[in-house]
Structure 1
Amino acid sequence: MNRRKGSLVLIALIVIFSSFTLVKKTNAENNYYKNEMQHLHTAIEHHFHDAVSGYYFVDLDPAKRETKFGHKREYSWLWALCAMFEATNEIEKVDKNAHLVAGIFKSMQYYYDPAPPKPGYGEYIVKLSKGQRYFDDNQWIGITGLDIYERTGNKKYFELGKSMYDFMMTASDTTLGGGLYWRENDFETKNTCSNGPGVLVALKLYKATKEKKYLDTALKIYDWTNKRLQTPEGLFYDNIKIKDQSIGKAIFSYNTGTMLQSNVYLYEITGEKKYLERANKIADNSLEYFYGSGKFRDGYWFNAVLLRGYQQLLNHNKDMKYVLGFKKCLDNALKENKNDKGLFAAKDGIYNLVEHGGMLEILARFAHLEDRYDLGISK
C-alpha cells in the first residue's frame, strides 16, 4: 500500500513538473518580442548614448557621422529622438516600471528653439549647430506627447502636444487649396509626411479637449491630403511641388500609416462607417505592397508608423492578416539583419539611431500584441 502511494506521488510530481515546464515554455514564447525589445533597448543605450555629453550619437561608426555646415555633426538629428520618444512610450505600456520617457524628453530639450513665430524643436542641438525646423519632426513629438497624456494624465505632455499643434499651424496657407508645408521657410513642397501626422495631432487634441476647432482642422488637412496626394490604389505619394503641381511619386509606408490611422480615429470620433471602410481599403492595399515579399520594403521607422495604423484598426477589424503579414517581415529582419551586437543595419549599411528607434517601437508594439493575441511561434 505504501509502495503504491509512493508511486502515485511520484506520478503526480512528474505531471506537475511537466506542466510547469510547459508553462515555462509557453511564457517564454509569449515573451519573445518583449525579450527582443529589452535586448535592443540595452544595445541602443550602450552603443548610441554618449555618457559624457548626455547626447545620442547619430551613427554607430564615427567615420560615417555626417558633416554639414563645414563641421561634423556626430550627434543625433531630432528625427531619431522622435523615434526613441515614441518607442519608449510604447515600452512603458508593456513594462509599467520602465520609466524611460522622461529621459528622452529631457534629451530633446537640447533641440528646443523658441524662435518666432512659434516655439518648436530644431533639427539639431541648438547650441552646437542651429538648423532648420521640420514640421513633421515636431508633429511626431506632438503625437507622442498627446499619447503620453492620454496614458498618464500628465498635463506637461498635453501642453507639449498643444505647442506642437500651434507650431505646425504656421505651415498652413491657401496655396494649392490648403495643406501644410514640410519645413519652415521652405515653400517648395507640401508633403504627406507633414499632413498625415498633422491630422493626427489635431484629432488627438480634439479627443483630449472636445474643442471643435481641432476636428475642423483635422478634416481640412485630411480632405486636402486625400485629394492631392492619394494614389489610385489608396496609398499615398510623398509630396506635391508648389511651382508646377507635379507629384513626387515615391510611396513610403509611414505616409500610408498616418492616413490609415487618421481614418480609424475619424471612425472612432464620428461613428461614420465611411472612415472605417477607407481604413480597411488602405490596410488591404498596403499589405501586399509593403509586406507581400516577406521583407520590409523601406526603413524600420517608416514601418513602425504603418504598424500603428494596423494595431489601432485591430480594435474594429479583427482580421489578423495585417499584423501577421507585418510579423513575417519582422521575424525575417530579426533572423537575418541583427548582428552580434544586437543592432540592425539600414539598407545603406549604416547603423543609425532612427532605424533602431523604429525597430524598438515595432518590438514594443509586438510585445503588447503577443500578450493579447495568438501570433504563432517566432524563432
Structure 2
Amino acid sequence: MIQSKILILWTVSFLMAMGCSSDPSVEDQMETPTEGQNPKPEEPSETLSYKEKAKETYDMIQELYAKGSLYKENYPEQSGEREYSYLWPYVGMLTAGNVLYELGYDQSILDKEFSGLEAYYDDRSNLPTYQAYPVSGGSTDHYYDDSAIVAMELIDAYENTGDNFYLERAKSVTEFIMSGEDSRLGGGLYWFEGESENCTSGPNCMKAANTSAYAAFVTSKMYQITNNTQYLTFAKRVYEWNYETLRDPSDNLYWNDINIGTEQINTTKWTYNAALMIMSGINLYEITDDQKFLNQSIETARSAYSKFTKVVNGRIFYQTNDPWFNVELLDAFIQLSEYDDKSNDYVAVFKDNVDYAWENARNSNGQFYEDWSGNSQGRYFWLLHQAALIEAYGRIALYEQS
C-alpha cells in the first residue's frame, strides 16, 4: 500500500513566487483569502473511473464557472474580480479540452475551449500573442509563461486533431516566447513583456526559471514537429542557461528567478519549475540521444519527490498548496516513466492523493479544496485549482490505458 511506504521527510517552506505586481492575474496566486465554509459532500454512492471523474469535474465547472463562451475567475465571486477569468486559469480549460478529447469525449469540448481562447488574442502587428485578459476588456500585459502554456496546448490540439490552424498559431506564439530572451545575465527569459526592455530595478526585473523552462519545452517540442533547427538551438541554449544559473546543485531543483539589478537569486522552489525542466530534458534526450539530458531529468525527479512530499495524517501527500503546479509534476513523472521505472512509484502517490481528494477534499458543490489532504479548503474557489483536477484524473486515466 502507498501509505505504508517509508519516506525520508524534508522540511519544506513555501514562499511567495515572483514578487508583487498590480496585475490581478498574478495576485490570485499570492493572496491567502478566507477559507470557504461549505461542508464536505456526502460519500459517493458509486465508484467512478478516472476518466469519469475528469468529465464530472469538467461538468461541475460548466455549471458553476461558465460565463458565455468564457469563465469566471472564481466561484463564489471574490472581491474585486473582473467579469471573466484571466488567461492563466483559462489555459486549464484548454488542457481539459485536450485531455477529454484524448479520453474519447466529443471534439465539441475541445472546439469550445479553443474557440473561447481567441477572446485573449492580441492580433498586434509585432509579435502577436495572447494577453493576460480578454482584449474586450482593454490592453493588458503579455506574459512569456502564459504564452508558453498556451503554446503547449495549441501543440497538443494540433497533434490531437491534425488541424493546421493550431500549429500555425503555435508558431506565432513561439516567436513571441523566443523574443523574451536576451543576453543580460548570460541569457534566460524575462517573466513578462513589460519588464523585458531596459529594466534596471524592481522585483519583476528578473530572469525566471519558469519562463525559461517553458520556453525550452515549447521550442524542443516545436523542433520535434517541424524539424526547424532554430527551435532546437534555442531550446538547448535556454535549457542550459536554466541548468547552470538557477539549478541548486545540492538537490538539482530550481530556484525561482535571478534579479537583473541586484543579481540576487530568489531561492524559492516550485513543483512546476522542476516539472518543466524534467520534460524539457526528456525532449532533448529524444532529439539528441544525449544521455546527460535524461540523467538530469531523473536527478531532478528524484529530488522533486523527496522535496515536495510529506506525511499528512499518516499518508504521503504532495505539497498541500497550488495543485495546478503539482499536476505539472504529475505530467512530468508520467512522461519520465517511459524511461525510469521509479517514476511509476511517484505517479502512484499522485493516484492515492487524487483518490483521497475525491472522497475527503470537496465541498457540497463538488469543488476541490486547494489542499488535497482535506485539512484546509484554501483557495478552493479559483478556477485554476478546479481545472487542475480535470487534468490530474485525465492524465492518470491515459497513463493507465498506455
- Cα separation, 1, equivalents of 2:258 and 2:360: 36
The structure carrying a bigger helix percent of its residues is 1
Contact 2:128 2:176 in 1 (8 A): yes
Alignment of 1:144-163 (within 5 A): 144-163=153-172
**Equivalent-residue separation in structure 2 for 1:134 and 1:56 (angstroms):** 20
Q: Are 2:114 and 1:84 equivalent residues in the alignment?
A: no
Aligned residue among 271, 279, 300 for 1:282? 300
Residue 377 (structure 1) aligns with: none
Question: For 1:204-228, what per-residue CA distance to the aligned partner results, in whole angstroms no more than 9, with x for missing partners?
Answer: 1100111111100000100001111
Q: What is aligned with 2:291?
A: 273
Residue 267 (structure 2) aligns with: 249
2:236 pairs with 1:219: yes
Check if 1:331 corresponds to 2:348.
no
- Equivalent position of 1:47 in the other structure: 64
Q: 1:195 & 1:84 partners in 2: Cα distance?
A: 23
Instruction: Name the amino acid aligned to 2:83.
Output: E
1:176-228: per-residue Cα shift (whole Å, max 9, x none)? 01111110121401111111110111011100111111100000100001111
Contact kept, 8 Å, 2:380 with 2:386, in 1: the verdict is no
Q: Does 1:182 align with 2:191?
A: yes
Aligned length: 336
CA distance in 2: counterparts of 1:259 and 1:110, whole angstroms: 30
Q: Hey, what's the Cα distance between the residues in 1 that align with 2:178 and 2:126? A: 10
- The answer to whether structure 1 residue 299 and structure 2 residue 322 are counterparts is yes
CA distance in 1, matches of 2:108, 2:318: 30
**What's the secondary structure of 1:95's corresponding residue?**
coil
**Higher RCO (CA-CA < 8 Å; seq separation 6+):** 2
Query: Rg: which structure is higher?
Result: 1
Taking the aligned partners of 1:364 and 1:85, their CA distance within structure 2 comes to: 13
The answer to whether 1:193 aligns with 2:226 is no
Identity over aligned pairs, percent: 28
The alignment's TM-score, normalised by the length of structure 1, stands at 0.84
Partner of 1:353: 383
The match for 1:108 is: 117
What's the counterpart of residue 3 of structure 1? Answer: none
The one-letter code sitting in structure 2 at the alignment partner of 1:339 is N
Whichever residue aligns with residue 307 of structure 1, its letter is L
Q: Deviations over 1:337-377 (max 9, x none)?
A: 111221113353341111111111111101112334xxxxx
Q: In structure 2, give the amino acid aligned to 1:222.
A: Y
Map of 1:310-321 to 2, 5 A cutoff? 310-319=333-342, 320-321=344-345
Listed one character per residue, the Cα deviations across residues 70-124 of structure 1 (whole Å, up to 9, x for unaligned) are xx41310100111111222111111253532211111111111123531011111
Residue of structure 2 in register with 1:5 after alignment: none
Q: Is the 8 A contact 1:113 1:120 kept in 2?
A: yes
Aligned to 1:60: 75
Quote the residue 1:138 is aligned against.
147
Instruction: Please give the secondary structure, in 2, of the residue aligned with 1:181.
Output: coil
Match of 1:184, as an amino acid?
Answer: E
Q: CA deviation at 1:329?
A: 2.4
User: TM-score, normalising length from structure 2?
Assistant: 0.80
1:146-189 CA-partner distances (Å, limit 9, x unpaired): 12222332111111211111111221111001111110121401
Residue aligned with 1:238, SS:
strand
